[in-house]
Every structure is written in C-alpha cells, then in structure tokens.
Amino acid sequence: MPQTITRAGHRLAYHAMEGRGPGVVFLGGFRSDMTGTKAVALEDWARASGRAFLRLDYSGHGQSGGTFEGGSIGDWYADALAVIEAATEGPQILVGSSMGGWIALLIARDRPERVASLVTIAAAPDFTEDGYWADFSEAERLTLMTRGRVTVPSDYGEPYVITRHLIEEARDRLVLRTPLELGMPVRMLQGTADEAVPTETATRLIAHASGKDIRLTLVKGADHRFSGPGELALIREAVMDVLARV
C-alpha cells in the first residue's frame, strides 16, 4: 500500500524508500502514474544501490485522489513539492519525465535549495501553450473558451480532456519565456523518434537555460516512452553522472 498525505483536500499517494542521500525523486508525465516502467526500474536501481528514492502520483493521477480534469500544472507542481517536503530531507536528485520534466524545472527554479541535480527525460516544458494551444484550430479554441474543454486523441489509450483551466493556469507556469537559471548539474535525455515531444523542444530548452553544467543527450530512434533496456540504462547512467558531481 502506498503512503499518503493530504493537500488541498486530496489524498496524494507515494512510495518513499529510505537510503543514503541525496535521494532520487521520480516525477511522472501527463496522465501517467508512479507504477510506470521508468519509475519502477529506477526504484530497483536505488534499492540495489542503497539510495533513498521517492515516486508519487499527482492529484487526479494513479492512486491519488481528485480528478484529472480538475487539475492543472500549478496543482501538480504543488502536489509534487508537498510530497517532497513531507517524505525527503535536504536536496534531492529530481528525475522528470515529459510533464514531470516541466515540474522538475519549476521546482529547480523556485526551490533550488531542494534540488541537488536534475535529470529530464523528454522534458515537455510549456507543452500546454506550445503544443495544445498552438495546435488547436480556431474551432477548437472557440469550443475550449466557451464550453471549458475539448477532447483530443491520445496514443496511450482514451482521449484526453483538455480544459480551459489547464491552458490558462499554465500561463503562469511557463519556463521558456523568462530567465531559467539552473545552478545544479543537469542532464537532459531526448529521443529523436519522439512524436509527443519534438527534438526542437529539447534544443530550445538547453539554449534557453543558463548554468555551468547542462548537457543534452539525443538518442537516435528512441520514442517518447524511453523505456527500452538501453534507454533505462541511459537514465541510470545520467543519475550516476550527476551523483558523482554533487
């Protein structure tokens, strides 16, 4: 059974494993949960290494309470930060996948004292604005603004409901429009066959962020899941790389 805390009336589920620090925190993506391949594989590595580890479900995701449609980037950022504050001590290594990369960047920007280093996997900063809103037709934008939601197809199962609240609230959370200082070691992983987050997003992010130790690795042929054996090994290697520099 997962451990839980409550934030904003919602029960947030997480699994925290004790070990030596700095601990590793896995932040999952949009509509994903903490039982995914990358989260569990990284936890297995942490257990074998004696490293503290945390994985969690945002509200409206996985085993946590709330509804997905009621959430926003700001809510999920606050959820992640609340669990990190409750379940860890000191600076952590944040590993953010897709939307989790955006949330990890927000934490690194706003709470740098809690971040020892950062690893992103197909990070999707500002995807609500540069992905959904930018790609919506005029008809879809009108529907979103008047009805409060639109439905878009998903490659991962049922269609996604995108709400006006999600789009509008995220405009206060964008990280590619204002200075982004990352004073910790940062490793970014990106597959060239990723159809959800284009390579251009990764190159834009590394060009935009400022910091002394930021590296981007492009993996030819890797898709958005980034969950094959070789790709999981690259995630572990990136974590060990930043650990050596902390």
Residues annotated as catalytic (active site), given as ranges: 98, 194, 224
Pairing between β-strand 115-121 and β-strand 20-27 as defined by DSSP bridges: unpaired
Distance CA 41, CA 191 (A): 19
**CB contact burial 158-182 (16+ within 10 A = b; e otherwise):** eebebbbbbbebbeebbbbeeebeb
Residue type present at position 222: A
Taking alpha carbons only, the member of 33, 193, 11, 21 closest to residue 117 is: 21
How far apart (Å, rounded) are the C-alpha atoms in residues 31 and 47?
A: 26
Rounded to whole angstroms, the Cα distance separating 43 from 112 reads: 23
> Which residue is listed with tokens 């999981």?
232
The helix (H) or strand (E) run that includes residue 25 is: strand 20-27
Q: Where are the extended beta strands (E) located within 92-185? A: 92-97, 115-121, 149-152, 160-163
Beta strands in 61-200 (DSSP E): 92-97, 115-121, 149-152, 160-163, 186-191
